[in-house]
Structure 1
Amino acid sequence: MTFLKIGQTGDLRMQMANTSTSQRKIIFAAVFGNLLEFYDFTVYSYFALAISKQFFPSHDAVTSTLLAFSAFAIGFVARPLGGLILGYYADRKGRRSALSLTIMLMALGAAMIGLAPNYATIGVAAPALIVLARVIQGFAQGGEFGAATATLLETGSDASRGFRASWQLASQGAAALLGAGVATTLTFSLSTEALNDWGWRIPFLLGTLIVPVGIYLRRHIVDEPQEAKPKGSRLFETRHVINWFLTVFSIMGMSVSSYIMIYYLPTYSIQQLGLPEKLSIMVALATSVISFVMCPIYGAWSDKLRKRKPLAIIGRLMLLVLLYPAFWVMTHFPNLPAVMSAMIVLMVFYTMGSAPAYALMPESFPRRIRASYMASAYAVAVSVFGGTAQLVAAWLIDATGSKMAPAWYMIACVLISLLAISFFEETGDKALE
């Protein structure tokens, strides 16, 4: 992409202003569309308890919850396939086409969940519909990440790549904030009976609105002409494959951390800490705010340093050190101020470890394979580890009888991701390939 320099003629300055406006529209379209898609995919976790009663009835509340989380995890099974197919599609046919397709698929899944008859009405077909909807959403989400990340990284100057790429993670925080906000509003507005009966459907039906909004916004994304494939280049070059595996393990630890801290904590607070349902959702609200606010700050900081790795490594080290003390505080002082304070501290360092990495990882791949490699690596990491994090955390507590079990699991995963991020070559001081 050609960029204009300040100080040239008035016509060129006007052209640069127009280009900047166009770039802002593209970035906003990618971020807002990503936000809406992640909202549709993750809002399920906020209403897992209500969904478990409607679609996975059981005499044992823990078993019912595990089944609901299993359906949540199933949505991640299709992510690698979606990442591979839709990521390749984005690299070959353009970012806009792929992003528009993922929006329509995500809305379809949300409508299926929001309108699905419950178990009492159609029996085993009810949970089957939920599972199918989650598979469709997982396929769409697998392709969304790579195309959106590539769009954010490639649109604009090299000097602000870290800031732009950080909005991939910030938009996920905004999606969680939107989901938590809707959940909080419904929880305080409706009785428990009404919420469990029909109120939980509202967030999914709202999620279908992403189709007209998303397609309208993404009209502004204009794909550059496809670059020529360098002579002698191969799709599976050794350095790209190595970076792919490093990306998988780098995302793994942070994905497990985010799905437990942001999405599992409301359920954990109710079942393990004894917090009222109306208060537990406030924890998710606080963690989502921190993610949304801090990610762009750390992304911009990495631009100023012209280095991604120092912040990513320090953030993960601090998260590693603080995980056990934070869970100890929550289990020994099970009240809202203690739980919220512990989660806020953890999220500050989680975002430090994650936001710069969202530029470092895609910067490590050339444009011609960036969307497909990032989409497939992210999908594998999140499917195997992130999507199962809530299920594993709940199972570990049940198997060990220890409320500290999620902390140990997170520590192991963050340690692996810390090692993976340390092996990346620094890219913050290099021009985008």
Structure 2
Amino acid sequence: MSQANTSIPRDKSRKAIYAACIGNLMEWYDFGVYAYLAAIIAKKFFPSTDPTVGLLAAFAAYGVGFLARPLGGILIGRMGDTHGRKVALVLTIFMMSVGTIGIGLLPTYESIGVWAAVLLTLLRIIQGIAAGGEWGTSTAFVIEWASPGRRGFAGSFQQVSTAGGSLLGSATAAVLTSILTAEQMLQWGWRVPFILGALLLAVGLYIRRNVEESPSYEAAKHKVAEDSAVAGWRLGARAFGFTIFWTVAYYMLLAWMPTFTQRFAGLSPSQALWANTVGLISIVVAIPFWGALSDRVGRRPVLLVGTLLIAASIYPMLSLMMAKGGMSVVVPCQIALGAMLAMYSGAGPAAISEIFPTHQRSTWMSAGYTLAAAVFGGFAPFMATWLISTTGSPLSPTYLYLIPAAVISALVILRLKETAGAELR
């Protein structure tokens, strides 16, 4: 039976979508700020005479958070299907804030030795579990509250908030590196973005506790008890393939890009973060446009064009950054790449949600998405750094990692049914 939602009051729909997205923004600020301070974290928790070794260790700890995401996706996603989206979303924001504030208060290697790295990794695992439950549950919540014919546009704001969280993290790190000296950042400035997670916890919990459950979930929740916990694994596999390129592109073009532009495009740490921030702004601005377009022309055309554009342009753009260098070249390239990535991020939330019936959506969308993010996305900065170190080519991550990911996801998209305009199942 379809889960029609033509009777949803517009004011309730807006309030619910706002609650999901503001909490999502706050969580992805918490989760993502680590990447923008990776070089400092490497020095504080993984000291080494070889900067590359320390950076690899820091990015490995970053990736461990992603390995925990499938666990969170399955456990918290299942909670979202059995006990409601709202309960799961309150839990995720609490766990993410605990992990983030903990990192901000954590003693460094200088104080407690190797235990600093161990505790940092444990806190990243807590963050990873929270992030795993957050993405799929908040996406399901937004799509289920959206009006028919506008799910692409409404769902795009889930990605606006995800990119917005990264933007907030990048901007915070950029401001701090601009106003503080390198010594101040190394001594205490790096802690500030993490401790700010306390403010996000209070705001996020208040907003999410004061919102209603989605009407589609209320109509379908009786089906969960009748359904096997593993009944949706085939659909979850589609979500996995769909997400591979999405997550590789996102974390290479955003989390890893400040490292690339510092090492190979001649930017200072502050310039690299500001360039990345401008690129994130372009994503945030463009995502709703592409989401709305997917409601009119379909999900598949928008997704395929975005995939092919990035695959075709990534190598020449990074080559240009290396050859010319400087903000005048890097910033336009990051804006262009951001606008292309926004095509996938605009149509993606609605497209991946529409793969599933409501009673399986939170569990299996979370499982498929987070497993792909763990295997391919979370370790994208690590893989990029390792590939460059192994091959000696700064461009090797493009043709050995990102472009193959684009091919895989494009093949999955071609096999998906067009779902724009169809009612939720």
Distance 2:227 2:111 in 1: 56
- In structure 1, the residue matched to 2:151 is 161
C-alpha distance in structure 2 between counterparts of 1:176 and 1:193, whole Å? 25
In the TM superposition, what are the counterparts of 1:285-296 in structure 2 within 5 Å? 285-296=277-288
Do 1:112 and 1:129's aligned partners in 2 also have CA atoms closer than 8 Å?
Answer: no
- How far apart are residue 57 of structure 1 and its match? 0.2
Match of residue 335 from structure 1 = 326
Match of 1:318 among 309, 314, 327: 309
Counterpart of 2:86 (choices 78, 93, 96) is 96
Separation in structure 2 between the aligned mates of residue 125 and residue 260 of structure 1, nearest angstrom? 29
Counterpart code for 1:102: T
Q: Give 1:315 deviation, angstroms.
A: 1.1
Matched with 2:362 is 371
Name the structure 1 match of 2:389: 398
* Residue 229 (str. 1) matches residue 223 (str. 2): yes
CA-to-aligned-CA distance 1:186-212 (integer Å, 9 cap, x gap): 011100110111101000000122221
CA deviation after TM superposition for structure 1 residue 234, in Å: 4.9
CA shift in 2, pair 1:230/1:322, >3 Å? same
1:41-68 deviation digits (Å, cap 9, x = unpaired): 0100000011111110000011011111
SS at match of 2:188: helix
User: Any conservation in 2 of the 1:309–1:357 contact (CA below 8 Å)?
Assistant: no
Distance across 2 between alignment mates of 1:232 and 1:73: 36
Aligned counterpart, 1:8: none
- Between 349-358 and 310-319, report the one with greater CA deviation: 349-358
- Partner Cα separation in structure 1 for residue 105 and residue 228 of structure 2: 46
Structure 2 gap ranges (5+): none
- The equivalent of 2:119 in structure 1 is 129
What amino acid sits opposite 1:252 in the alignment?
A: I
- Write out the 4+ residue segments of structure 1 that deviate beyond 6 Å after TM superposition: none
1:21 aligned residue: 11
Structure 1 partner of 2:160: 170
Give the alignment partner of residue 204 of structure 2, picking from 214, 223, 235.
214
CA distance in 2, matches of 1:75, 1:298: 30
2:415 is aligned to: 423
What does residue 59 of structure 1 align with?
49
Q: CA deviation at 1:230?
A: 8.8
1:64-87 CA distance string (max 9 Å, x none): 111110110111111111000000
Distance verdict in 2 for CA 1:385–1:26, change over 3 Å:
same
Aligned with residue 293 of structure 2, among 286, 295, 301? 301
Amino acid at match of 2:99: G
C-alpha change, 1:348 and 1:431, in structure 2 (3 Å) is: same
Q: CA deviation at 1:304?
A: 2.3
Could you tell me which residue of structure 2 aligns to residue 12 of structure 1?
A: none
Bigger radius of gyration, 1 or 2? 1
Answering whether residue 181 of structure 2 is matched by residue 187 of structure 1, we say no
Please give the alpha-carbon distance, in whole angstroms, between the structure 1 residues aligned to 2:277 and 2:210.
Answer: 31
| 2:256 partner letter | Y
Q: Give, in angstroms, the shift of residue 98 of structure 1.
A: 0.3
CA RMSD in angstroms comes to 1.6
Verify the 8 A CA contact 2:140 2:353 in the aligned structure 1: yes
Q: Spell out, residue by residue over 1:3-36, the C-alpha distance to the aligned partner (whole angstroms, 9 max, x if none).
A: 44xxxxxxxxxxx7xx322221111000000000
Say how many residue pairs are matched. 417
Structure 1 distance, partners of 2:406, 2:249, is: 8
Report sequence identity in percent.
Answer: 37
- In structure 1, what residue type is equivalent to 2:272? S
User: Quick one: distance in 1 between partners of 2:87 and 2:96?
Assistant: 15
* Matched residue type, 1:319: I
Structure 1 residue 418 displacement after superposition: 1.2
In structure 2, the CA distance between the partners of 1:197 and 1:20, relative to structure 1 (3 Å rule), is same
Structure 1: tracts of 5 or more residues without a match:
5-15
Name the SS of the counterpart of 1:229 in structure 2.
Answer: helix
In structure 1, the residue matched to 2:269 is 277
Gap change, CA 1:37 and 1:385, over 3 Å in 2: same
* TM-fit CA distance, 1:2: 5.1
Normalising by structure 1, we get a TM-score of 0.93
Cα separation, 2, equivalents of 1:316 and 1:2: 31
